[in-house]
Amino acid sequence: MQPPPATPGDPLDQVDTPALLVDLDAFERNLDRMTAETTARGLRLRPHAKTHKSADVAKAQIARGAVGLCCQKVSEAEALADGGVTDLLVSNQVAGSRKLERLAQLARRVRLGVCVDDAGNAAKIAQAAAAVGAEIDVLIEIDVGAGRCGLRDPEAVVPLAQQIAAAPSLRFAGLQAYNGTAQHLRTLEQRRAAISVAAETVRRATNALSAAGLSCDTVGGAGTGTYALEMAEGLWTELQPGSYCFMDADYAANGTPPSYEQSLTVLTTIMSAPEPGFAVCDAGHKACAIDSGLPRLASHPSVALIGASDEHGNIALPSGLAVSVGDRLHLIPGHIDPTVNLHDWYVCHRGGTVEAVWPVTARGAIF
Helical residues (DSSP H) of the chain, grouped into ranges: 24-37, 49-52, 55-63, 74-82, 97-107, 119-131, 157-166, 180-183, 188-211, 227-233, 249-254, 336-340
189 binds its own copies (CB under 8 A): no
Query: Which lies closer to its own copies via its Cβ, residue 8 or residue 259?
Result: 8
| Cα(198)–Cα(12) distance, integer angstroms | 44
Query: Which lies closer to its own copies via its Cβ, residue 189 or residue 310?
Result: 310
| Cα(254)–Cα(240) distance, integer angstroms | 19
Query: Which lies closer to its own copies via its Cβ, residue 199 or residue 283?
Result: 283
Nearest distance from residue 245's CB to its own copies, in Å?
16
Within 10 angstroms of residue 186's Cβ, the number of other Cβ atoms is 12
Nearest distance from residue 310's CB to its own copies, in Å?
5
52 binds its own copies (CB under 8 A): no
Query: Which lies closer to its own copies via its Cβ, residue 43 or residue 138?
Result: 138
3-state secondary structure of 270: strand
Nearest distance from residue 61's CB to its own copies, in Å?
19
Query: Which lies closer to its own copies via its Cβ, residue 32 or residue 153?
Result: 153
Site string for its own copies, 287-326 (x = CB under 8 A): x-xxx----------------xxxxx-x---------xxx
Site string for its own copies, 107-146 (x = CB under 8 A): ----------xx-xx--x------------------x---
Q: If binding means CB under 8 A, how many residues of this protein chain bind its own copies?
A: 67
12 binds its own copies (CB under 8 A): no
Cα dihedral 50→119→226→23 (10° resolution) = -10
Site string for its own copies, 68-87 (x = CB under 8 A): ----xx-x------------
